[in-house]
C-alpha cells in the first residue's frame, strides 16, 4: 500500500456513498476514506479495510505467535480494538502503520499473558503446516516452502528473541521503535536480535546454501571490517 495518499483533509460529504445513485465501489476508496466512513457510521467500510490488509496482518501475527489459533485470536482482538478506536486514528499516518501497530501489540499482549501462565511449549501442529503455507494455487512451491521454513525456525527460538527479530528484521522497525513497542531498552532489543539470529542461523542455513547466489561461495561481498565500520 505504498500508493496511499492522505486525503483526510479533502473532506467529501460523509453521506456521499449513501446518496449517490448506483452501487458504491469501496474497492476504489483508499484506506483513509474507508476509515473515515467507518468513523462516520458506515457499517461496511471497516470490513473492506480488514479484507484489504488481512494477509499482511496475518503474516505479522503468525510469525510473532507461531500458532495459528493464537494468531487468529490476536488478530480478532486487534481488529475489534481498531474498529472501536478508529476515531483516535491520526489522519497524518498511514492506516496500515496504525493497524500494524495494533496487531503487533495484540500479539505481544498474548505472549506476555502466556508467559505469565506457564511456559507451555508451542505444540507441534503438523496438520496445519501445509495450510499455513497458504493455498497451493496462490504461490509457487518454493515460496510456500520458504515461508514454512521461516515459520518453523521462528517457532524454535524463544519468544522474546522472536518478537524482536520479527519487528526489526522482518517488519523493518528501527531498534528504537522496537524498544518502545516491546517496552525495553534498545540494547536489549539488539541483544535479542543478535542471539535470535545466532539461533536461527543453523536452522535456516540450507536456505542460504541453496540460494544459488551470483558468486560460488554464496556469501555477500560485505566483509567484517565494512559491516562493523570504524571503532
Partner 1 sequence: MTDSGLPTSEHLEHLDTDTIADLIENLLPAPEAHRAREHVKACPDCQQTFDALVQLSEDLAEEGRNDIPMPADVAEHLDAVIVSESVLRSSTVGVHSLVQIREEPRRHLPKLLGAAAAVVVIAAIGVGVVFATKDDAPGGAAGINPTNVPTGVPTLTTKDVGPQAQRWLESSSNPLLHGSAAEIACARTFASSRPNPQLRLVQPAKVNGQRATVIGLQGESARDVQLFVVTGCNESGGVADPFYDTTVTLRNR
Nearer to partner 1, 94 or 146 (CB): 146
Judged on CB neighbours under 10 Å (0-12, 13-18, 19+), 31 is buried
* Shortest Cβ 106–partner 1 spacing (Å): 13
CB 111 within 8 A of CB 163: yes
Give the span between the Cα atoms of 94 and 115, in whole angstroms: 32
Give the span between the Cα atoms of 173 and 166, in whole angstroms: 9
* Shortest Cβ 71–partner 1 spacing (Å): 8
Letters for 142-171 (x = contact with partner 1 by CB under 8 A, - = none) are: -x--xx--x--------------xx--xxx
Candidates 90-98, 99-107, 108-116, 202-210: pick the segment binding partner 1 (CB under 8 A): 202-210
DSSP secondary-structure letter at 168?
Answer: I
Residue for grid cell 522497525: 173
From the list 35, 74, 99, 132, which residue makes contact with partner 1 (rule: CB under 8 A)? Answer: 132
**Residues in binding contact with partner 1, number by CB under 8 A:** 77
From the list 8, 24, 93, 184, which residue makes contact with partner 1 (rule: CB under 8 A)? Answer: 24
- State yes or no: residue 195 binds partner 1 (CB under 8 A): yes
Nearer to partner 1, 45 or 163 (CB): 45
CB 44 within 8 A of CB 26: yes
- State yes or no: residue 186 binds partner 1 (CB under 8 A): no
Give the span between the Cα atoms of 47 and 44, in whole angstroms: 6
Amino acid at each position: 500500500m505504498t500508493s496511499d495518499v492522505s486525503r483526510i483533509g479533502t473532506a467529501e460529504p460523509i453521506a456521499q456513498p449513501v446518496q449517490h445513485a448506483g452501487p458504491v465501489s469501496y474497492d476504489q476508496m483508499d484506506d483513509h476514506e474507508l476509515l473515515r466512513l467507518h468513523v462516520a457510521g458506515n457499517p461496511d467500510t471497516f470490513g473492506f479495510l480488514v479484507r484489504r490488509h488481512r494477509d499482511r496482518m496475518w503474516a505479522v501475527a503468525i510469525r510473532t505467535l507461531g500458532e495459528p489459533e493464537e494468531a487468529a485470536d490476536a488478530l480478532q482482538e486487534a481488529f475489534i480494538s481498531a474498529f472501536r478506536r478508529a476515531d483516535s486514528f491520526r489522519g497524518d499516518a498511514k492506516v496500515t502503520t496504525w493497524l500494524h501497530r495494533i496487531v503487533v501489540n495484540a500479539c505481544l499482549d498474548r505472549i506476555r499473558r502466556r508467559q505469565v501462565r506457564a511456559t507451555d511449549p508451542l505444540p507441534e501442529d503438523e496438520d496445519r503446516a501445509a495450510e499455513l503455507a497458504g493455498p497451493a494455487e496462490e504461490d509457487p512451491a518454493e515460496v510456500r516452502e520458504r515461508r514454512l521454513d521461516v515459520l518453523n525456525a521462528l517457532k524454535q527460538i524463544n519468544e522474546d528473541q522472536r518478537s524482536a527479530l520479527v519487528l526489526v528484521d522482518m517488519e523493518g522497525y528501527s531498534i528504537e521503535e522496537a524498544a518502545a513497542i516491546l517496552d525495553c531498552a534498545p540494547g536489549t532489543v539488539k541483544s535479542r536480535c543478535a542471539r535470535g539470529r545466532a539461533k536461527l542461523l543453523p536452522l535456516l542455513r540450507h536456505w542460504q546454501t541453496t540460494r544459488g547466489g551470483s558468486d560460488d561461495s554464496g556469501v555477500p561481498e560485505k566483509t567484517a571490517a565494512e559491516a562493523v565500520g570504524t571503532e
